Amino acid sequence: MRAKMLGLTTLLAVSVALSQPKEPIQQIAQSVGAIAAFWFILTTYLVGAAWISVISALLPEWVNRKAQAVQTQSARSFLFGLIVVFVLGILIIVLGEVGKTAPPAGVLAVLLLLVLLTGYSLGWVPVTWVIGRRILAIANCERNDLVVALVGGLSLHLLLFLPIVGWAVLFYWAVVAVGIWIVKS
């Protein structure tokens, strides 16, 4: 009886597999897409981890002060960051449109965009420290500053691939990263 059931199950599985043949090109494209997605995720994390490591190594006291400010005043940082992103975003858009006819305005728009991105990228490092500390506190692990920052960076990076909820969390922390420049530490 077992042999008969095993034979029927195998026959059913083979017939289902053969009933929906896939083109070899489609199979290759799916494999290449999966491999490319894996390498994209890995490469973007490694670039972020390198940035976090460099800033953490060069400015450890500054990052620690800003991380303390993020922990104690994240709502205030979010509010100020939202105002800065909104105002600079409007200025960048307006100056970009004016820059189509008057190139100096376009240059100013690019400079403002670079200021915004620099503020975000430098403020992101203390945010990763805070997230890493929270995760490692829950896991009761030892707290080496670089490991803390890399764990926080990895967890925030992986949230990028979680639609809606992950994006909302990342938006919140990105705005906090911009706003931490205004809040006193």
Query: What is the per-residue pLDDT across 158-174, written as a single tens digit (0 to 9) for each?
Result: 888 888 999 999 999 99
Handedness of CA 30, 31, 36, 41 (dihedral sign): positive
Residue 16 or residue 78, greater confidence: 78
Asked if residue 80 lies in contact with residue 108, where contact means CB atoms within 8 angstroms, the answer is: no
pLDDT of residue 1: 61
Residue 19 φ/ψ, nearest 5 degrees: -75, -20
| Burial degree of 109 (CB within 10 A; 0-12, 13-18, 19+) | buried
pLDDT of residue 169: 92
Confidence of residue 89 (pLDDT cuts 50, 70, 90): very high
pLDDT of residue 35: 79
Query: What is the per-residue pLDDT across 16-62, written as a single tens digit (0 to 9) for each?
Result: 555 555 676 666 666 777 777 788 888 888 888 888 888 888 988 99
Confidence of residue 178 (pLDDT cuts 50, 70, 90): very high
pTM for the model: 0.74
Query: What is the per-residue pLDDT across 100-154, written as a single tens digit (0 to 9) for each?
Result: 898 899 899 999 999 999 999 999 999 999 999 888 888 887 777 788 888 888 8
